[in-house]
Amino acid sequence: MKMILILVCFIGVVFGAGGIFIEPKIGIVPYQNFKAKNESETLINFFDYGVDIYSTVPKFGQVQIGLGAEIRRINPLLSDKKNVGLFFTLIKLPTFLDTMIVSRVGFLQNRTLERTFYYAIGFEKSIYRVIFQVLFDDMRIKRGVLDGHYHSIVLKMGIKI
């Protein structure tokens, strides 16, 4: 986490960004698919949680760039209910009416899984300081004979600090 903060501060200095925003989030995965198995999380099972740290880059017209980390449970893969960590870079592009297009590229890490490529794209709507996100993500999973793509839809809510 210290490394993420240092990198975001460095990006802010290099691109001349004014403020650094920290956005803690909590989320749920209503749809996930791996191979032919579809599942959904419920509120009783588990909340995903994480943080985005980003800054506005005025030289690029209100584009926001940053880093993030997230803890997520992947039910179809890990029957022992172990959590996985997602580490990613993010870019937010403004559209209209405080709506942003969010893209993430990073990797997933867990003791039982090899380091896995992760990417996501979605929409973000902000109402004052409350943030709502819908993300469509994909991961290439490598775990012995369980090679394949993991797809999910993620709903997140956060507060911009």
The CATH number of whichever domain residue 64 belongs to comes to 2.40.160.20
Residue type, 73: R
Task: Considering only residues 36 and 134, tell me which one the structure prediction assigns the higher pLDDT.
Answer: 134
* Domain assignment of residue 128, given as a range: 2-159
**Secondary structure element (H or E) that encloses residue 143, with its range:** none
pTM here is 0.79
Instruction: Write out the DSSP string of 49-106.
Output: EEEEEEEEEGGGSSEEEEEEEEEEE-TTT-TT--EEEEEEEEEEEE-STTEEEEEEEE
Q: Which of 23-27, 30-34, 144-148 is predicted with the least confidence, judged by mean pLDDT?
A: 144-148
Whether the Cβ atoms of residue 83 and residue 105 lie closer than 8 Å to each other: no
pLDDT at 25: 93
Given a cut of 60, whether residue 62 has pLDDT beyond it is: yes
Residue 96, both tokens: 């209209």
11-15, 40-44, 106-110, 154-158 — most confident range: 154-158
What pLDDT is attached to residue 6? 62
- How many domains does one find in the chain? 1
Least confident span in 5-9, 45-49, 153-157: 5-9
User: How confident is the model at residue 96, as a pLDDT?
Assistant: 84
User: What is the reported pLDDT for 29?
Assistant: 83
- Burial of 79 (C-beta count, 10 Å sphere; 0-12/13-18/19+): exposed
What's residue 50's pLDDT? 92
Spatial CA neighbour of 68 closest among 81, 55, 83, 82: 55
pLDDT at 121 over 70: yes
> In which band, very low, low, confident or very high, does the pLDDT at 46 lie, cut at 50, 70 and 90?
low
For residue 101, pLDDT beyond 90: yes
Classify the C-alpha dihedral 124-76-147-82 as positive or negative: positive
- Lowest-pLDDT range of 105-109, 111-115, 121-125: 111-115
